[in-house]
Amino acid sequence: MPHPLSSKLLALATSVAADGGEGVRRTLRDLVAEAAPFDAAEIVHRGDGGLTRWGLGPRGEGEGLAADDLLAGLWSLAAPLRFDDQADMASFPATRDLLRGKGLRSLLALPLPTAGGGGDAALLIARSQGWGFAAASLAALQPMAAVAGAALARALAMTSLRLRVDELEAGLSAGGSDRSTLRRELVLSRGEREALRHELGELRERLAAEEARGRGAEAHLQQIVAARDALQAEAAGRDGLAAALREQERKVAELEVRVEELTGTRGALQADLERARGDLQQRDSERQLLREQMRSTGGELNEAALAERDRRREEEARREAEIDALRRALESTRDEAARARAEGDQVRSALGAVEGSAGALERSLRQVEDDRDALRAELGRRDAAALPPPAPLSSRRPRAARKPAPASPDRGVPRGPKRRAQKGGRRPSRARASGRAGRR
C-alpha cells in the first residue's frame, strides 16, 4: 500500500507537462478537495507578465478571492494565513470586501514556493461558513503546496520553452539573414527543455524512492504500535497485581485488628477465670466448714447453702466453657493471620519482580517512541528536501533569483498524545474466615 503523502506528491510531480500548468492545477484541485473541502478556490501567479489567476472550479476561470493587500502580505510572510471569519480580515479590507460580495466567510491562503526565478504563486481556498478550515491539516497541505509550486513553475517553463521553440522553428522555416542565429537559439532552447525533462525524471525517481522508504516506515510504525499494545497489556497485568496486593494488605490489617481485639478479650477472660477460681476455693472452704458443722452438731445441712453452692458451680462451668470457646477462636484467628502474612509476603515478592520487568518495559516503550519520533522527523526532512530548485528559463530573458521560502511552523496540526498506562483497579476480594466466640 503506497504511503499516502508520498503518493500524492508523486502524482503532482508526474502531472508536469508543457500545457501551461493545467495538469498540475487539476491534480492539485483533487488533492486539496480531499484534504480540505472548499466552496471556491483559485491559484494566483505573479510573473513578468503581471498577475494571472486560475480558478479551480469546473470552468477554470479566476475566482478573485484575494486582493493585492492580502497577496503582498502572504508572499512577504511566506507562511500560510487562515481566516475563520470576515471579522479576522480587518487588516485586509479589500480582500474582506471581495469575500463579502461572494458570500464567503472563511479563507485559507497557502504560498506556493516556486524558487529559482519562477515568480510568486499562491493557493486560495474559501468556504461560505465560518471556521471552515479549523480542522484542515497543514502537515498535509504544506508539502503538497511546496511540490505544486515547483511543479507549476516547471510546467510554465516547459510551456514557454515550447512556444519559443515553435517560434524559432517558424522563423527558421521562413528564412532570412539571421538563420544561423535562430538555429543557435533553437539548439539552446531544446537543450534547456531536455535539461528540464532530465531534472523532472530525477525528481520522479527520488519521489519513488521516498515512497518506498515511506512503505518501510509504515511497516516500522505498525511494529511500534504492536509493541506499544503489548507493553500496555503488561502494564495492565501489573496494575492487577498491585490491586491484589493492596487488597491482601487490607485483609492482613483487618486480621491484625481482630487479633488485638481477641487478645484484649483473652486478658479479660483470664481475669474472670482467676476471680472464678478464687470464688471456687472460697466455696470449697465454705462447703468444708458446713460439713464440719454438720458432723459436730449432727443436724441437717442448710438447704439454702446447698442451693447456693450448686448455682455457683453451674455458673463456674458455664464460664469455663466460654473461656475454652474463646481460646479456640483466638488460636484459629492467629493461624489465619499467619497464613495471611505469608500470602502477603509472597504477593509483595511477586509484585517486586513484576515492577522490575515493568520498568524495563517502560524504558523499552520510551525508546520505541523516540525511534518513531526520529523516523517521522526524518521523513519530514526528506519530504522537504525532495525538490531541487529548477534551472533558469532562458538566457535571453533572465529573471531575478528568488530565495527559497522558509518553511513555516504548523500551527493547526494537533499532536498525538503519548499513551501511558494508568495504575489502579481492584482485585476480587478473598473470603475471610474467622472464628466467633459465644456471647456472654
User: CATH number of the domain that 164 lies in?
Assistant: 3.30.450.40
Cα–Cα distance measured from residue 269 to residue 330, given in angstroms and rounded to the nearest whole number = 12
If phi over 0 gives left and psi between -120 and 50 gives alpha, with beta otherwise, what is residue 299?
beta
Nearest to 261 by CA among 429, 436, 440, 431: 436
Same domain as 30, residue 8: yes
pLDDT given at position 418: 42
Q: How many CA atoms lie within 13 A of 181 on its CB side?
A: 5
Q: Mean pLDDT in the chain?
A: 76
For residue 431, being part of any structural domain is answered with: no
Same domain as 256, residue 184: no
Same domain as 148, residue 109: yes
Same domain as 107, residue 204: yes
Same domain as 182, residue 94: yes
Cα–Cα distance measured from residue 172 to residue 164, given in angstroms and rounded to the nearest whole number = 12
Cα–Cα distance measured from residue 153 to residue 158, given in angstroms and rounded to the nearest whole number = 9
pLDDT at 349 over 60: yes
For residue 331, being part of any structural domain is answered with: yes
Distances 247 to 217, 238, 434 between C-alpha atoms, Å: 45, 14, 17
For residue 376, being part of any structural domain is answered with: no
Q: Which residues are bridge partners to 54 per DSSP?
A: 43
Same domain as 332, residue 196: no
Nearest to 240 by CA among 356, 364, 347: 347
Cell of 63: 475566482
Nearest to 217 by CA among 32, 361, 64, 1: 1
Q: Which residues are bridge partners to 164 per DSSP?
A: none
Cα–Cα distance measured from residue 121 to residue 20, given in angstroms and rounded to the nearest whole number = 14
For residue 433, being part of any structural domain is answered with: no
Query: Mean per-residue pLDDT for 144-163?
Result: 88
How many domains does the chain fold into? 2
Min mean pLDDT across 11-25, 118-132, 218-232, 291-305 is at: 291-305
pLDDT given at position 416: 45
Domain extent at residue 242: 236-295+303-369
Q: Of all residues in the chain, what percent carry a pLDDT higher than 70?
A: 69
Choose between 12 and 108: higher pLDDT: 108
Nearest to 231 by CA among 15, 424, 421: 421
Choose between 338 and 121: higher pLDDT: 121
Looking at 193, 226, 259, which one is the last position of a domain? 226
For residue 408, being part of any structural domain is answered with: no
pLDDT at 208 over 80: no
pLDDT at 330 over 70: yes
For residue 423, being part of any structural domain is answered with: no
Same domain as 195, residue 250: no
Cα–Cα distance measured from residue 334 to residue 176, given in angstroms and rounded to the nearest whole number = 122
Choose between 178 and 169: higher pLDDT: 169
Same domain as 219, residue 154: yes
Rounded to 5 degrees, what are φ and ψ at 46? -115, 115
For residue 374, being part of any structural domain is answered with: no
Other CB atoms closer than 10 Å to residue 377's CB: what's the count? Answer: 10
Same domain as 243, residue 220: no
Min mean pLDDT across 91-95, 142-146, 262-266 is at: 262-266
pLDDT at 41 over 90: yes
Same domain as 267, residue 141: no
pLDDT, tens digit, for every residue of 366-379? 888 888 888 878 87
Which span out of 78-92, 214-228, 266-280, 406-420 was modeled with the highest average pLDDT?
78-92
Asked if 107 and 125 touch (Cβ cutoff 8 Å), the reply is yes
pLDDT given at position 440: 33
Same domain as 314, residue 220: no
Choose between 334 and 100: higher pLDDT: 100
For residue 80, being part of any structural domain is answered with: yes
pLDDT given at position 175: 55
